[in-house]
Amino acid sequence: MAANMPLEEIGREVRNIIADALKRPVEQVPLTASLESGLGIDSLAMIEINIALEERFRFAMPDMASPAEANLKTVEDLSRFVAQQLAHQKGRLV
């Protein structure tokens, strides 16, 4: 159940998904990496990552054109945000 997944595991999945989207090895995507300045995630990459997160965790991410719009600075921020959304939506798809 994605809703009960530990934060550590969510973090691992988020790193994998970002690495996939950016076509980089996952080692280059630590939890501490900055999404925009460090990894260079632009509007389209953010949208693609959000869709991949939705596919993986079967929930709905809110619209955002950049990580900053949702106050997300690092990979860890995004992981915590996903965990919060999962708990809030209790695994509902839409």
Partner 1 sequence: MTALNLELRHPDERVAAQRTPEEQRAHEAREVAQHYEHNPEIFSLVLDKRLAYSTGVFLSPDEDLETAQARKFARVAAKLNIQPGEKVLDVGCGWGSLLLYLAQHTEGQFHGITLSSKQREVALQRARDWGVAERVRVDLTHVEQLNPAPESYDVVLFSGSIVHMHNREVIHQLVGRTLKPGGRLFISDCYFPAEMRGDRDSSATRYIFVTALGYCRLLSLSEELNLIERAGLDLLHVEDLTSSYVHTLGHWIDNVRRNRERIEAMAPGFSKVLQGYMTVAKLSFAKRTALEYMILATKGAPKVHVAGWPIPGNAR
CB of 54 to partner 1, least distance (A): 7
CB of 44 to partner 1, least distance (A): 4
Binding mask 32-71 for partner 1 (x = CB under 8 A): ----------xxxx-xx-xxx-xx----x--x-x------
Amino acid 22 reads L
User: Among 21, 69, 93, 22, which Cα is nearest to 81's?
Assistant: 69
Smallest separation, CB 70 to partner 1 (Å): 13
- Which residues are 74's β-sheet partners? 34
